[in-house]
Chain A
Amino acid sequence: GNSVTQMEGPVTLSEEAFLTINCTYTATGYPSLFWYVQYPGEGLQLLLKATKADDKGSNKGFEATYRKETTSFHLEKGSVQVSDSAVYFCALSSGQGGKLIFGQGTELSVKP
Chain B
Amino acid sequence: GAGVSQTPSNKVTEKGKYVELRCDPISGHTALYWYRQSLGQGPEFLIYFQGTGAADDSGLPNDRFFAVRPEGSVSTLKIQRTERGDSAVYLCASSVDGTRREQFFGPGTRLTVL
Chain A interface residues toward B at CB < 8 A = 4, 32, 36, 42-46, 49, 51, 89, 91, 93, 96-105
Contacts and interface: CB of A to CB of B under 8 A. Distances in A.
Please list the 10 inter-chain residue pairs (A to B) with the smallest Cβ-Cβ separation, ordered nearest first: A102-B42, A44-B105, A32-B100, A93-B100, A43-B107, A99-B45, A98-B100, A97-B48, A43-B105, A97-B98
Interface residues of B, number: 28
Interface of B: 31, 33, 35, 40-45, 48, 50, 55-56, 59, 91, 93, 95, 98-108
A45 B91 CA distance: 12
A93 B101 CA distance: 9
A102 B59 CA distance: 13
Contacts of B95: 98
Interface class of chain A by DSSP: strand
B49 to A, nearest CB: 10
Given A43-B107, A97-B56, A103 B102 contact: no
A98 B106 contact: no
A103 to B, nearest CB: 5
Nearest to B48: A97
B55 A97 contact: yes
A65 B11 CA distance: 40
21 contacts: A36-B105, A43-B108, A44-B43, A44-B91, A44-B105, A46-B102, A46-B104, A89-B43, A93-B100, A96-B56, A96-B98, A98-B101, A99-B56, A100-B33, A100-B45, A100-B93, A101-B45, A102-B42, A102-B43, A104-B41, A105-B41
